[in-house]
Structures are given as C-alpha cells and as structure tokens.
Structure 1
C-alpha cells in the first residue's frame, strides 16, 4: 500500500504553518542571534537535521539499489528476447510472461516510482521547525552584520572572504549568504548597502558553482542588482547589468522588457525611484572612532593606578587594583576582581534563563524590546546564592555605597553584532514610579566576564573614552553629579561585537540610600 500521509492537502499544511507562526509569536520570538550562548543549541539542532537528511539519503539509496537490481534482471531478459525474437516469442511460456509483465509489473513499477521516499524524515523536519530561526531572526542577523560593517568601516568583499577588521579567519560566506544579505537590505530600503552585497553575489557566482537544490540563477541575481541600481538612480549601470545578462539569454522576455524600460527612463530622464538617504561614510562619528579604538590616550596627570585600600575596611586586608579612568564623570577600572571559577558559575547560572534584553520606555512606562539593544539577560536577586551575596559585598567594597534598594544583578550575553546603542543609565524622572522609592541610578558597576577577541568596547563619546573588555575586570562610573543632577557626560554605548562571546554583569546603584556616603552637595557658583 502506498502511504497516504504525503497526500495531506497543501491548504492544511499552510494552515498548520500559519498556526505555528501565531503560536510562536504568542510565546515570543527566541531571537536566536542576540546571544552566543543562545545560538549553541542551534548547532545541536543542525546536527539533528543533518542526521535526519542522512537517514533520508539511506532511504533513497535503498530504493535506488532495489531499482538498479531490478534493471539488471529486466535488461537481461529483454536482451535475451531481442537477440532471438521469433524463437523467444514462439515459446508460450515466454509469451505469457511478457504479456503478464507488461500488464501488471509495469503498473507496480509506476506505483513504486510514484511512492514518495522519506515521509518520516519530512515529518521530522516539520517537528523541528518550531525550534528553527524565523525570518525575523534572519533579518536581525542581516542587520547585525550590516551594523558591524558600518561601525568598523569594513568592506563587503573582505567580510565575505573572512577578513574581519584586519584579521583573516578560516571562514567565508557563500553566494546564498551574500545574496540573502542583499535581498533583505533591499527590502529594508537600505539600497546602498544592498548593492554592495548583491554585486558580491554576482562576483562569487562567476567563481563558484552551486549544487542542487540550492542553486540560484545568475539572471535572477543580476535582475535584483539592476533593480537596486535603479533605486540608486544609477540607470546607465543598471542597463549594463541587463545587457550582460542578455548575452547569456538573448531571448529572455523579462530581460528584454527591463532593458526597454531602462532605455526609456534614460531617454526621457524620468526617475521613478524614491529619494535615497545616503549616510556620509567619509568621517566616522565619535562613537565609531571609540569602537575602533582610535580615541587618543589621556594625557591627564591626575589619572593614575593604585591599590584601593580606603573605600571599605575590608580593602585594608585585601586591596583592589584600581585604575582612575576619568574625573568628570568619575570613572574607575578595577582589575582581577572576579576569579575564573566565579565567572564560570555566573555563566552557568545565567545560560538557562537568558531572555531578550529590554529597555525602559518613558512613553509607555514599561520595558520593551528595541532594535538599539541586542543581547540576552538574566536577573538575580542579591541573596540568590552565596556567589551573588559575595558579589554584592564586593561591589560595596569597590564603591563604598549601600546597595539596599538598588537593582538586581543583571547578567548579559551578546550575540552576532551584539550592541547597546548610545544611551544614559539615569532615568531623570523625579515623579516616576522608577525613581519614587529608591531615587535615580547614582552609579553603574559593570563586570566583564570574558575577553572579546574583536569589538565589544564600552565607549563614552562625549568624553572620548573607551573601555575594552578584560576578563575579571570591573568599570564603575557615577551617573549623577555631586549636586544630584544628571550628568550628560555619561552618554555611553556597548559597541558591536565583531568576534567573540561577550559576557557582562552589571549593577545599577540607586541614590536614596547614599545620603551619608555621598550626600547631595550644593552646586558651586
């Protein structure tokens, strides 16, 4: 009997996919690319899919072996008959067998050929699709790679060949990768960036061939490239691309129509493309300069390194290595604060519960997922376990602040191009629910749990300072001035990670309990 499972109507399959999408939206997108730790399970999932595909290949090979064995015996009998036709057919047994074969055997072969292979493997893929990245994940990944390129001034050809920020890696992008970049950037109306990626796809297609079933036609890529150039008002270049495509397919109707359309646009001077905003690429911003590590070193003689023995009585016995980074705002960097064992425990605590990071929105009065912050976080109360208790005690030793009423420890892991755009940590809301109980965020304490191979710095554009992640170190700065007013010099950002897994842990300290340790001073006239 033929399996009837594969005959499930297409309409039912589409309905199932729509319901699955709605269910995933209700549960919330996993946002795979925003955390390296979160992407680890995708490798395990891909391994399952590869094993499943191998099972499918085994099923195909079994069927192929059956067919080939049968071809050998069928060919042998047919050759025997055709070598001596009259003698063969004059024998009633041969005649009967031929008629029976032609009437029955070949109908069975037709059914066998029509019977699908790998039903169980297809169903397995359908089961795993719920855990696979969605189109939204791919869009976020494209945006992340584009963010890396623009922030660090990288070139598309170099990226596609694994040359990242001056270092060659043993990895490269395929035509499918670069074409997907171009397509999605085109859909996002980022035509200038899209053109670079689609052109790179054209270049790669000339150098490498693609195997079924993933191949794409050169003409398809060229047509999209021509459309992109039209969006950039580069009509003559678009016409050249179409003419090149016509050399391979001179009678292609779509190409001929597109050529006629472009020629008319050039002749009449018409422009149907909307105006395109092109960002200036010549002069990098202060933020980009900081991310690239190009801020000049400080020449302030008041900044120095020392062993801090004074902030708390405990430091008399166990002083901390402290580097004074800035005075306005006050900023210090502590070295070797966390041990490798503590870091490993913190990462183990956070990994199972990592969720997409959110940002407080004053307009709605609640935390929301935003594109300007791409990472995953996990929160832990001060008394969660002995390690969190010890960590908070260490923060008190470093800052001299009372942590009562302050926020929980927040552990974060950044993923593909993970970043946090320029922002302030203070709320600046005197009557807000966020500050009514414990006041505003007087200070930020940021632990670096890992080194980051490339990228991932914390930059302060207004004061032209950048702190690069060093495993076990801590940076601390004041968000409020001595008089309790907000300090706009504390504008900062987490630069996109190029290569590496960036783990941090931070603590926002509230001002209300610091009335004696850092009293509000009058502003000097």
Structure 2
C-alpha cells in the first residue's frame, strides 16, 4: 500500500482553530488587488504587537525576530508604493502566506506570544485576516502567470518577472507553502517544481523551518508517483532514505515502486515479442482540440507575440473625432483605429484622473467577487476563469458617473436608454478573464429582460499595467494593452442583430501592477434609428473572412 505524505493533522487543526477565532476572516481577498491592500493594516498591527511582546518578554528571540524583521522589511517596501508592491503577484502571495501559515509557525514557536498577538489584533476594528482560500488562490495565480508568460520557477522564486526584479527573493518556506497549496489542489506538476525549488533554497539557507528536507523530498517523490512517473518516484524516494534511512512510509513505498516498474517492463517486452496479442500503438501526431488551439493563441497574444497582418495595419489611422455630437466640435476626441471590420477603436484621454479616483472610491466598498452568466440557468455565478472583484454604479448616484455615461453616448453615437450601470472591476493576483463573448448566444437568456442583447462594449482603462493585463481578441489576433484614461470600443452584433463571434476576447492575467477597468454595456433597444438592422440575414456562423494574425518571430 502506498503511503501518502504526512500532512500533519495537528498542524491543520491548529491552523483551523486559529482562523476560527478570527471573526473578521475574509475569503476571496485574492480576487482583487484593492482588497489585498487592507491586509497591510493587519500586517502593521502584527508588527507593532510583536515589537511590544518581544520588548516585554525577551524569550525565544531568534525565531520571533526572524519573522519580525521579514515583516518589517516587506512592510516598509509595501508602504513606499502600495499599488506597485501588491501589483507584484509574488509580493501578494508572500503577504498572504505571512498572514496564514507563517502565523501558525509563530504559534508553534511560542504559543503564548501568538495568543497575545491574536487577542490584541482582534480588538482592532480595521483588522482583516486572509483565509486558506486566499492562500490557495494566490498559489494558483502564480502558476497561471508562470504558464501564460512562460516564466521559470527559479526566476519567480528570485522575484524576477520577465527578467525584471520587482520583489525580494522568496524563501525556502515560501516555496514550500506554495508547493503544498498546489499539492492539496492536485496540481502535482507545479507542486513538484516548487518543492524542488524549496529544496534548493533550503540547502542554501541556514535557517530553521517547521518542515525538513525529508518533508520536501517526500512531496517530490509522491508527486512523481501521482503523475505516473514511477521511476522518478523511486529515485527521489531513495534520496529521501539516504537522508532518513528509517523513514517508514518511504521504506514501504520502495518495493511497491519496484514491483510496478518490473511489471511495466515485462508488459513492454511481451508486447514487443507479440505475446500479448496487442498491436503496438500507431504513432500519430496529436491534434489540438478547439479549446487547446484557442488557449495557445490566447497565451501568445497575452505575451504580445502576435501582430496583425501588414495589409491590415497599414490601413489603421488616428484622427480627431468631431461627429456624433455637436459638443465634439468644441472638444474633439482622439480616436485610434485598432482593427477594421470589425471596427475596434481606442478613444484616448476620455476619463480624467479625478473621475477615476472618484469611481474607485465609490466602487471599492461594494466590491464582490466577479460573476458570469450560467448559460443553462441565466443566473450569475462565480467562476475560476474570471478572477476579479466588481461593483456597479448608477448615473443617479453622482454627476461624475452621469457625465461618463453622456461621454459614452458622444463617443459611440448610441443611446444610453437601455445601457447597463457602470461596472467597475479590479483584477486580483494574476487576475484574468478567459476568452468569452459579451453578447448572449441564442441558447442563453441572460439579457432577455434588459432591452435586448448587448450591441456594444465600452471598456475604460483606469490604470496603467506594468506587465500583462492586455485585452486580446483571439479570433482577430489583436492585443490591446491598457492605457490609463483611454477606452476601447467595439460592436458585439452584426447589423442583423446576430452575435459577431469575431469579437471573442479575454482579459490576460496581470503580471505586474493593479488593473482597474470599468465597463459600459449598451443594449439593442433604443438604437433602432441610430443603428438600423440590415435586411440581409446574418447568423453568428457567418463570420467574415479575417486576415490571419502573424507571429512576430516569423519576420
């Protein structure tokens, strides 16, 4: 019988009790960078309380001071530029880790001390604790960034994002907890890689941890086994036994691994001799599924590796827009064509810094995890493929919001009569929204009571993003990177009213920075005289010929 790695039941129980005591525990903090900012208040309280405790008690200073110095150093970095600090996914992950599993390790080191800390911090009104879900979400975000942007685990652990050092290196403990969180989520490939990094750093650091080299080796070996690589599982188990020859689970696993390897070798020998009656499998090149093809295109677009064809790009222009409304003759809007047929436009400098700050201030207290429409029920539900928090603002709440809506009408030439409220979104750690349509498909009933389908989208960018966070159109091969104060605009429907599937788009994971956007969705009702229907019927399968995107490496 295979023995799984010991997950330390006592450790888990203590951890659960700690969080059960914290009545202000908030899950889903990882879904918006703005929410993670609140953890710095908790961070500061813990620093102050640890300082007071150490001055008063002066016991077990080596362990406590190590934690304290780390907290102080990182907190000072954070307070220099909070959005930029938390916009780094590594910093966000390690902050959550310090306020989850690290607190448990402090409790193990000096139980009286952490009881004191918890009792004091629980009396502060502004304290929030992250939950285990936040730690898991942050861990999954790092692997999502790693896979989308082709980042090396070693670079990430050293605080490097695409060759730029944005944060302090991660410790062996950081890498271990990240690997453990991924292992518990059954992401054994990434768990194995992070445990290997934890092992490397553990050998370099001369620091005591609550885990040992044996613990790390056990995770690595069993991850290999669960991935179907029994030979590597045996190799790493033997490394474990070289460190701890009496390890009972490892000793029990070795014969099982050896038996599995011998049986597989026998089966292959018989198959080669034709004794099994089985024909050797014919080698065929694997064909990518439609999802895999789109995923590949999506990730390449996120990395900025694709250009639109020269025949298209040379026809794109920039100009001042003065039509649609008489006001634009006095204050023309800078208009940049990003794509033609379907027309995708970027309007520049159409929302001011003051309006942005007001929108963020009004929206933040109402933030809820962003949801999507369930195509079967039409209900709004959370989804793993959309990591952000959002809220909605009405025109009637503020003249600034009403002014933004009027500006949308001026820019687009469309009516706001059936437009949705302004949706404000802040993306979380590695925040993203996988490829989707803004309009409802025929089988969906999402907008049946909202003035018809969504005819158009206006997407305001309310922050610059240092790396990542592009809006990409997977059918068109177009990447639109955030530009603060600008707004992207496109029509979602053909003139017949059918959905235009070439407008399928996605929000790429945020690699560095805090991405703020706001959406204004306009509906069909009220546009009859502004955007009359075409008499020629078009269904959503009648996608127009689209020039194929060009990989940048091909030039």
1:86-485 pair list within 5 angstroms: 120-124=116-120, 131-211=128-208, 214-269=209-264, 285-299=296-310, 300=312, 301-429=314-442, 432=445, 434-485=447-498
Question: CA offset at residue 175 of structure 1?
Answer: 1.6
Equivalent-residue separation in structure 2 for 1:115 and 1:196 (angstroms): 33
Task: Judge conservation of contact 1:328–1:489 (CA < 8 Å) in 2.
Answer: no
> Distance in 1 between the 2:481 and 2:112 partners?
56
Match of 1:504 among 513, 517, 538: 517
Shift in alpha-carbon separation, 1:370–1:270, aligned structure 2, 3 A: farther
Q: What SS does the aligned partner of 1:201 have?
A: helix
Closer/same/farther in 2, CA of residues 117 and 321 from structure 1, 3 Å limit: closer
Q: Deviations over 1:199-222 (max 9, x none)?
A: 1111111111333xx431100110
Q: CA deviation at 1:489?
A: 0.6
Question: What secondary structure, in the 3-state scheme, does the structure 1 residue paired with 2:430 have?
Answer: coil
Structure whose alpha-carbon radius of gyration is higher: 1
Could you give the per-residue CA deviations for residues 154-196 of structure 1, whole angstroms, max 9, x where no partner exists? 1111111112123222422222222222222222222222221
Moved more, 44-53 or 403-412: 44-53
Query: Considering only aligned residues, what root-mean-square deviation do their CA atoms show, in Å?
Result: 3.2
2:62 paired with 1:51: no
| Structure-2 change in CA distance of 1:239 and 1:38 (3 Å) | same
Seen in structure 2, the aligned counterparts of structure 1 residues 349 and 117 have a Cα distance that, compared at 3 Å, is: closer
SS in 1 for 2:38: helix
Whole-angstrom distance in 1 between the partners of 2:30 and 2:427: 9
Aligned residues of 2:39 and 2:127 also touching (Cα < 8 A): no
SS in 2 for 1:383: helix
Alpha-carbon distance between aligned partners in 2 of 1:381 and 1:297, rounded to the nearest angstrom: 37
TM-score, L = length of structure 1? 0.79
**Structure 1 residue matching 2:464: 3-state secondary structure:** coil
SS in 2 for 1:513: coil
Please give the per-residue CA displacement for 1:60-98, whole angstroms capped at 9, x wherever unaligned.
22899xxxxxxxxxxxxxxxxxxxxxxxxxxxxxxxxxx
> What does residue 82 of structure 1 align with?
none
* Cα distance change, pair 115–175 in 1 and its aligned pair in 2 (3 A): closer
Secondary structure of 1:269's aligned partner: helix
Question: SS where residue 323 of structure 1 aligns?
Answer: strand
Partner of 1:72: none
For residues 481-500 of structure 1, the aligned pairs below 5 Å read 481-500=494-513
1:42 aligns with 2:39: yes
Question: 1:116, 1:284 → 2: CA distance?
Answer: 51
Q: Relative to 1, partners in 2 of residues 1:259 and 1:282: Cα closer, same or farther, differing over 3 Å?
A: farther
1-side partners of 2:321 and 2:494: how far apart?
22
Whole-angstrom CA distance in 2 between matches of 1:486 and 1:428 = 7
Return the alpha-carbon distance in structure 2 between the equivalents of residues 380 and 371 of structure 1: 25
Contact 2:475 2:504 in 1 (8 A): yes
Q: Please give the secondary structure, in 2, of the residue aligned with 1:371.
A: coil
- Structure 1 residue runs without a partner (length 5+): 1-11, 65-113, 272-278
The CA deviation at 1:434 is: 2.3
Aligned length: 454
Structure 1: distance between partners of 2:359 and 2:188: 42
Decide whether the 8 Å contact of 2:346 with 2:489 is kept in 1: yes
Distance 1:63 1:182 in 2: 28
- Name the residue aligned to 1:103: none
CA distance in 2, matches of 1:283, 1:489: 13
Supply the distance in 2 between the matched residues of 1:466 and 1:319 (Cα, whole angstroms): 26
Per-residue Cα deviation, 1:381-436 (whole angstroms, up to 9, x for no partner): 12221111110111011000110111000111112100111110001358937223
- Shift of residue 14 of structure 1? 10
TM-score, scaled to structure 2: 0.75
Separation in 2, partners of 1:437, 1:252: 64
Matches of 2:265 and 2:121, distance apart in 1? 49
For the residue of structure 2 that corresponds to 1:514, the secondary structure is coil
Question: Is the deviation greater in 283-292 or in 136-145?
Answer: 283-292
8 Å contact 1:20–1:130 — kept in the other structure?
no
Distance in 2, matches of 1:293 and 1:305, equals 21
Gaps of 5+ in 2: 1-12, 62-109, 267-287, 539-555
